[in-house]
A and B are shown apart, each in its own frame.
Chain A
């Protein structure tokens, strides 16, 4: 997965930290989100990165999900989930692979979906 580590790389759609969105968000390109979203996010086949200032309230469905900020909702990732040390996640995670840095905070279930692992 080509998700950025801390700042967006070129080729990513970006939502800056002063932006607040209420409603469903969907797209077909990778997204770097450093603002606030209240609503579900669907990026099937693409990755979502929640930056250190990012806050999401709603479910997320994407190929890969990287969280550095706050996410309140379930995560369904067809490839992998990365929780960085500053991540605060409340919700259940369903994915094929997961990595969690020391210091990340998770309240919820982790389900590793092995049936479709390539």
Chain B
């Protein structure tokens, strides 16, 4: 494991009534060197659909795939119970409907803060599937909150606005997703208008989560975010 410092905290930039934040990201900075120096990469963005990110990659001649896994996880048909009778989401059904790609298909996966907000029953299966769809040597970027971030940390969508700069806006659930979450009578992953932080991973948890990957780098930021860049 390697530890680095370098990412800075967010800056508030109010725009058109909604608050947009920008933050420097060392993980993104390192990753962007890959897509700036290579052609025809296959990139998977697992955040909310971002026109800015799609433009960023298509302008550079890369192929971009967009899949919003958090919203997909609000599907009430996923509801089931685990062996102890507790409410859980059906990870088999989830993976039958989502992340359906050939093995070793992607050069880069942008996970953003997905693991922090995804239901517990889906986290390990999703990471396992991401391992299989990444090419050997492919890279995955994920963000994790530290305990100091607090339980009410909003879930953001991330737009790439520079080599190492991200713009973040708070995710507000679409009406359909809100209805789905309410219909499931299970406010575990979402509140009335956004997603709820599910847990805080420590370094050991993160290392275990990415146990099958070849290497892992941590970048410590000042805004209670731990950036992780893993290589398959």
Contact = CB atoms under 8 A, between A and B. Distances in A.
The contact size tier of chain A is 10 to 19
Contact of B64 (A101, A103, A109, A114): A109
A100 B63 contact: no
A107 B54 contact: no
Contacts of A106: 49, 66
Contacts of A99: 51
Interface of B: 48-51, 54, 58, 61, 63-68, 71-72, 169, 174, 176
Contact of B54 (A88, A110, A114): A110
Contact of A109 (B48, B63, B71): B63
A25 interface: no
A106 B54 CA distance: 11
Given A110-B54, A110-B58, A112-B58, A105 B49 contact: yes
Contacts of A103: 174
A13 interface: no
Interface string A93-108: 0000011111111111
Contacts of B174: 103, 105
B54 A108 contact: no
Kindly list the 5 A-B residue pairs having the minimum CB-CB distance in the complex, ordered from nearest. Answer: A100-B51, A112-B58, A106-B49, A109-B65, A106-B66
